[in-house]
Amino acid sequence: MRLSAQGLLRGFTLLLTFGFPELTFAGDAALSEAIYRHGVLPSGAPLVADREGGVRIEGVTGACVNCHRRSGLGMKEGRQTIPPIAGSYLFHPRAGTADDLDLPFVEGMRADRDPYTDATLARAIRDGIGADGKPFSYLMPRYQLGDTEMASLIAYLKQLSPGAVPGVTESVLHFATIITPDADPLKRQGMLDVLEKFFIDKNHYVRAESPRLRSSRRLMFKVNRHWELHVWQLTGAPETWEKQLQAKLAAEPVLAVISGVGGRTWAPVHRFCEAEALPCLFPNVDLPIVSENDFDSLYLSKGVLLEAQLIAHELTTQRDESKVHRVLQVFRAADVGEEAAGALAAALPDERFAVVNRYVPAGANTRELAAAIRKAGGADTLVLWLRPADLAALDPVPPDVASVFMSGRMGGLERSPLPAAWRTVTHMAYPVDLPERRRVRLDYPLGWFRIRQIPVVAQEVQADTYLVCGIVSDTINHMVDTFVRDYLVERVEEMLEHRVITGYYPRLALAPGQRFASKGGYVVHFAGRTGALLIADGDWLVP
Amino acid sequence: MSFRRRMMPIALFGATLLALGPCGAWGGNTTADMSSHEQHKSRPPVTSTVPYVVPDVTLVRDDGRTVSLAEEMNDGRPVILNFIFTSCGSICPLMSGIFAQIQRKLGAEADHIHLMSISIDPEHDTPERLTEYARNFGAGPAWQHYTGTLDASLAAQRAFDVYRGDRMSHPPVTLMRAAPGLPWRRIDGFLTPDELIHEYRQLLAAN
């Protein structure tokens, strides 16, 4: 393929302008990827296509990735099965059945068809005529592509073909979990206990002596591979974590990252997953990275950022509009409360709310913290982004404010050690389902912990870790032997909403462009004589 | 002329004659008809007339207003309705593209029809997301998108028999009604914008 230097330059400028994350490909590959994923031609012009009946589509709406997915392995939507278009599925020789092909099984693959050639594939993309000479259905647009652009796209499809996947061997599937140096030691231990027991359970059913199975006539089976867990413990400053992770991945290739636990920042880990195109399922992150255009990092919720939105919703809808409300937020330096406070301040309209953020140094003792809060008198609303130890050490009586909000996620949900007098005035952001509604869904992991004698030291972290183990396990079972990293993410997106055991959450769902599986929460207050009961202020809120 | 177009009148006739339920006509998802579009087994569109009752639910319009679905539908204008979600890759953009074409082809006449698109993924599709989605399809003043609670969206989906257990299984359905109180014309599958406009005009003429 030949492209003018100017064309290349323009393409790159455009890529940079839109901030596409994948600039690791050199020249041509980046340009063909832009056609496939973003509907942008090397000239910078939008990809143009027509559907029957004169429906024209342009740009990202017409990008191949929308239907055929990033893996090129297609999908099922409604009654439509979108076939795989990764090269090996187009160019394989004619065979009797899919079983006769040496290709990983995906729905929509076809064996009994003459192989495409570059010429018939170009005809398919431009004119909607299949290798067999028959027209495609209305779902496949007819693309307007020049010869150079076509060659570029076809080259891209060819390299999409599944090949050897790092972390997958004949007998072992390798996974990692990531722990930052500032992770809470209890949460770390609780998470590792669950992961290790889950892997033991998983391997318990694998008989080493039985032969390796592969997909056959669409029968589902347990793929006979051991699961092996690598614990990637990071050290030192966050700036060095990406390098450490790259070295660990090179030394111990893995198919995916299951869970992890951190402290102040998760951004380097998130960036690592995106840069390596490594599926990463993170149940335990208080402060995830919100970038819905990213692909590989999946979270159960937006964590404290969701809580900030829940509190902002309450304040903007419940407070009378005629006067300016004074909001004081308290958090510790070097904890995620700072970002949460920033998100809440940004979400409150300036003309109605005067927000003051007061942070306490990371090493400050609880007396200094209490003193900072005592100065809240005169504010209408106090917002606490504090951990249980700080909450337990608050003055017995709250300052004279109209109401107090607190982070449930940081403060320990209903087990928060908030002093009794505070419970009468405090509302808690509660980004999980209510205790009585989630009981059955949580009995399952809690029972599993009991039987396996796993001490419950950090219940939310452990239940969420168990949940994500189950999600990965189910997804891998459904992938049969098609171990492709992008396909793993795509299958999680498709399957997640079918899960019944959803732990703390009323429901979970993902989709292309959705990276946070649970999207809402409650605001609750304490009730009962001892303040031990929780009552929701209103319905499940999706801010 | 495409295979699908040639099949269309037969299909419409057949549907009326056999009174196939929309589900039955579109169902039967056996291994043999996993309709890879290459295999060219996509079913021809099927129309039916069904007396759906508009459910008593509250939705949130793309402008952020909380509205009653019944009131939105019963303002006197003919209604053309579909169900979409903004993260949907293949079917929804096609359905929204068809609405956009109908709007464009009808010109000023489109202002007298209420085009309605209800999200089946309301927890993700905030009014802001729907507004952006609508803008991408050039939605004019007579075309509104709706979200709300999950329960409200499900109630609407069930009332119009488009709920199939999850988002990914949603069938491509277009519904139209000439005026409040009249039955709905339901189209399962895809008609071209011109065919839909023809269908709409026939519906108006018949009422």
pLDDT 10s digits, A446-462: 999 999 999 999 999 99
Element (H or E) spanning B60, and its range?
strand B58-61
Strand partners, A230: A176
- In tens, the pLDDT along A158-184 reads 999 878 899 999 889 999 999 999 999
- A71 and A147 both lie in a single domain: yes
Task: Tell me if residue B63 falls in helix, strand or coil.
Answer: coil
- A425 and A445 both lie in a single domain: no
**Is a pLDDT exceeding 80 seen at residue A79?**
no
Q: Which whole number is the average pLDDT over A188-215?
A: 79
Between residues A205 and A352, the one the model is more confident about: A352
Helix axes A304-318, A337-347, angle to 10 degrees: 30
CB contacts, 8 Å: A132 with chain B: 38
Strand partners, A257: A176, A280
Q: Are B137 and B97 in contact (CB under 8 A)?
A: yes
Q: Are A191 and A458 in contact (CB under 8 A)?
A: yes
Q: Are A139 and A256 in contact (CB under 8 A)?
A: no
- A274 and A139 both lie in a single domain: no
**Alpha carbon of A21: minimum distance to chain B alpha carbons (Å):** 20
Task: Tell me if residue B161 falls in helix, strand or coil.
Answer: coil
Task: Please give the pLDDT value at position A208.
Answer: 52
Nearest to B91 among A55, A78, A218 (CB): A78
Task: Please give the pLDDT value at position A22.
Answer: 40
pLDDT band for position A210 (cuts 50, 70, 90): low
Task: Please give the pLDDT value at position A344.
Answer: 98
Between residues A261 and B19, the one the model is more confident about: A261
pLDDT band for position B59 (cuts 50, 70, 90): very high
**Is a pLDDT exceeding 80 seen at residue B69?**
yes
Domain B3-27+44-206, what architecture? 3-Layer(aba) Sandwich (3.40)
Q: Which whole number is the average pLDDT over A14-43?
A: 70
ipTM of the shown complex: 0.84
Q: In sequence order, which ranges of chain B are alpha helices (DSSP H)?
A: 3-18, 22-26, 69-73, 91-106, 127-136, 150-159, 193-206
pLDDT band for position B80 (cuts 50, 70, 90): very high
Task: Please give the pLDDT value at position A466.
Answer: 97
Please give the C-alpha separations between residue A153 and each of A63, A118, A163, in angstroms, as whole numbers: 11, 11, 19
| Residue A446 maps to a domain | yes
Domain final position from A127, A159, A191: A159
Q: Are A336 and A286 in contact (CB under 8 A)?
A: yes
Q: Which whole number is the average pLDDT over B14-29?
A: 32
**Is a pLDDT exceeding 80 seen at residue B42?**
no
Task: Please give the pLDDT value at position A207.
Answer: 55
Among the listed residues B118, B174, B108, B119, the one whose alpha carbon sits nearest the alpha carbon of residue B141: B108
**Alpha carbon of B168: minimum distance to chain A alpha carbons (Å):** 5
CB contacts, 8 Å: B101 with chain A: 53-55
**Alpha carbon of B25: minimum distance to chain A alpha carbons (Å):** 12
Residue A361, Cβ density class (10 Å: 0-12 exposed, 13-18 middle, ≥19 buried): exposed
- Highest mean pLDDT of the ranges A224-233, A263-272, A316-325, A357-366: A263-272
**Is a pLDDT exceeding 90 seen at residue A533?**
no
**Alpha carbon of A380: minimum distance to chain B alpha carbons (Å):** 28
Task: Please give the pLDDT value at position B163.
Answer: 93
CB contacts, 8 Å: B26 with chain A: 79
Nearest to B91 among A69, A80, A498 (CB): A80
**Is a pLDDT exceeding 50 seen at residue B2?**
no
pLDDT band for position B5 (cuts 50, 70, 90): very low
Q: Do B167 and A497 touch (CB under 8 A)?
A: yes
Question: Between A and B, how many CB-CB pairs are < 8 A?
Answer: 136
Give the range of the structural domain holding residue A111, as residue numbers without chain letter.
Answer: 5-159
**CATH of residue A423:** 3.40.50.2300
d(CA A376, CA B106): 61
Q: Which whole number is the average pLDDT over A307-335?
A: 91
Q: Do A494 and B168 touch (CB under 8 A)?
A: yes
**Is a pLDDT exceeding 60 seen at residue B1?**
no
Task: Please give the pLDDT value at position A108.
Answer: 86
CB contacts, 8 Å: A140 with chain B: 37
**Alpha carbon of A63: minimum distance to chain B alpha carbons (Å):** 10
Touching check for B123 and chain A: CB below 8 Å? yes
Between residues B94 and B57, the one the model is more confident about: B57
**In sequence order, what are the residues at sequence separation of 6 or more whose Cβ sits closer than 8 angstroms to the Cβ of residue A536?**
A430, A434, A522, A523, A524
Domain final position from A98, A124, A159: A159
Q: Are A80 and A107 in contact (CB under 8 A)?
A: no
- Considering only alpha carbons, which residue of chain B is nearest residue A124? B38
Nearest to A139 among B39, B94, B100 (CB): B94
- A262 and A329 both lie in a single domain: no
- Considering only alpha carbons, which residue of chain A is nearest residue B124? A519
CB contacts, 8 Å: B192 with chain A: 52-55
- A132 and A214 both lie in a single domain: no
pLDDT band for position A19 (cuts 50, 70, 90): very low
Q: Do A542 and B122 touch (CB under 8 A)?
A: yes
- A414 and A453 both lie in a single domain: no
**Is a pLDDT exceeding 90 seen at residue A284?**
yes
**Is a pLDDT exceeding 50 seen at residue B21?**
no
**In sequence order, what are the residues at sequence separation of 6 or more whose Cβ sits closer than 8 angstroms to the Cβ of residue A320?**
none
Task: Please give the pLDDT value at position A54.
Answer: 75
Tokens 């070295």 belong to which residue? A247
Touching check for B29 and chain A: CB below 8 Å? yes
Task: Tell me if residue A90 falls in helix, strand or coil.
Answer: helix
Task: Please give the pLDDT value at position A163.
Answer: 84
Of A119-123, A206-210, A232-236, least confident by mean pLDDT is: A206-210
Task: Please give the pLDDT value at position A153.
Answer: 96
Task: Please give the pLDDT value at position A364.
Answer: 85
Question: Considering its fold, how many domains does chain A have in total?
Answer: 3
- A177 and A231 both lie in a single domain: yes
If you average pLDDT over every residue of chain A, what do you get? 89
Task: Please give the pLDDT value at position A460.
Answer: 96
Task: Please give the pLDDT value at position A443.
Answer: 95
**In sequence order, what are the residues at sequence separation of 6 or more whose Cβ sits closer than 8 angstroms to the Cβ of residue A311?**
A344, A383, A405, A429, A523
| Residue A515 maps to a domain | no
**In sequence order, what are the residues at sequence separation of 6 or more whose Cβ sits closer than 8 angstroms to the Cβ of residue A476?**
A173, A223, A488
pLDDT band for position A25 (cuts 50, 70, 90): very low
Touching check for B2 and chain A: CB below 8 Å? yes
- A51 and A198 both lie in a single domain: no
Phi and psi, residue B115, nearest 5°: -85, 125
- A55 and A72 both lie in a single domain: yes
Nearest to B169 among A78, A113, A136 (CB): A78
**Is a pLDDT exceeding 90 seen at residue A528?**
no
The pair of three-digit structure tokens given for residue A428, joined into one six-digit string: 């808690």
- Considering only alpha carbons, which residue of chain B is nearest residue A66? B89
- Considering only alpha carbons, which residue of chain A is nearest residue B41? A137
- A487 and A532 both lie in a single domain: no
pLDDT band for position A20 (cuts 50, 70, 90): very low
Single-letter residue type at A189: Q
Report B:44-63 residues touching A (Cβ under 8 A): none
For residue A206, count other CB atoms closer than 10 A to its CB: 14
**Alpha carbon of A81: minimum distance to chain B alpha carbons (Å):** 5
d(CA B39, CA A139): 12
pLDDT band for position A216 (cuts 50, 70, 90): low
CB contacts, 8 Å: A509 with chain B: 121, 123-124, 167
Touching check for A123 and chain B: CB below 8 Å? no
Task: Please give the pLDDT value at position A233.
Answer: 98
- A39 and A106 both lie in a single domain: yes
d(CA A307, CA B189): 41
Domain final position from A95, A129, A159: A159
Nearest to A110 among B38, B85, B93 (CB): B38
The pair of three-digit structure tokens given for residue B22, joined into one six-digit string: 């929309």
CB contacts, 8 Å: B136 with chain A: 61
Q: Do B40 and A539 touch (CB under 8 A)?
A: no
CB contacts, 8 Å: A490 with chain B: none
For residue A442, count other CB atoms closer than 10 A to its CB: 21
Touching check for A146 and chain B: CB below 8 Å? no
**In sequence order, what are the residues at sequence separation of 6 or more whose Cβ sits closer than 8 angstroms to the Cβ of residue A367?**
none
Task: Please give the pLDDT value at position B43.
Answer: 62
- Considering only alpha carbons, which residue of chain B is nearest residue A494? B168
- In tens, the pLDDT along A226-279 reads 999 999 999 999 999 999 999 999 999 999 999 999 999 999 999 999 999 999
Touching check for B128 and chain A: CB below 8 Å? no
- A294 and A206 both lie in a single domain: yes
